[in-house]
Amino acid sequence: MSFIANISSTQSTGAPSEWVCRWSHLVPQDAAVLDVACGTGRHLRWFQARGHAVTGIDRDPLSVQAAAEVGEAIAADIEHGPWPLAGRSFGAVVVTNYLWRPLLPTMVESVAPGGVLIYETFAQGNETVGRPARADFLLRPGELLTAGAGLRVVAYEDGFLEDPARFVQRITAVRVAEGGLSPARHPLRALS
């Protein structure tokens, strides 16, 4: 069982995650973007407005219907059924406020060469400030680093955010393309 949280005011207004916005410049130009557990498509809208083809997956039919207004939207129970995108890869795989551990390797494998994984969800400690509170729904220290092994980590954070109060873990990691710059140049941008 997974937990998809809807606690943030940015989610209710449809605003994209600050973490996703901060690192979206690393997505290759014109690359397709996959949003896992996309909800109504706040990140799909963000990337579509930047010229990317977008695909979202969610199990909620109403969310998928809303996401379909922006791009490809797939209704699928990815926790109990097959991965509906077998064999496809994306210039970005975006995940926020969702954790289903058995799917972590599949999501990482879905990042195309030169593509980026942008992932942000709840971490241990969150049980002290609200939901989710069950260990099944909270990342262990360093868990995203382990999941992203094989990718080049550009940014990683594991800590507490105040507004709204929550513990998060987040990573941005790139699958270095063969023949890419050596060393790879992934511009860092400060939060605005």
**Residue position matching structure tokens 């909270």:** 138
pLDDT at 188: 74
Q: Are 93 and 107 in contact (CB under 8 A)?
A: yes
The residue type at 52 = H
**DSSP conformational letter for 64:** H
pLDDT at 191: 56
Instruction: Tell me the domain boundaries of the chain.
Output: 3-174
Question: What are the mean pLDDT values of the chain's consecutive 10-residue runs (192 residues total)?
Answer: 39 79 95 97 97 97 96 96 96 97 97 97 95 94 95 96 94 86 61 56
> Per CATH, which fold does 3-174 belong to?
Rossmann fold (3.40.50)
Q: Which two tokens stand for residue 41?
A: 């498509």
CA atoms within 13 A on the CB side of 99: 24
Q: Which two tokens stand for residue 58?
A: 């969610």
Cα angle 153, 53, 178 (rounded to 5 degrees) comes to 40
pLDDT at 177: 82
**Residue position matching structure tokens 């799917």:** 103
Q: Which two tokens stand for residue 107?
A: 């999501």
pLDDT at 1: 41
Cα 118 → chain centroid: 5
Q: Which residue, 30, 53, 89, is CA-closest to 44?
A: 53
Q: Are 118 and 172 in contact (CB under 8 A)?
A: yes
Q: Which two tokens stand for residue 84?
A: 């509906």
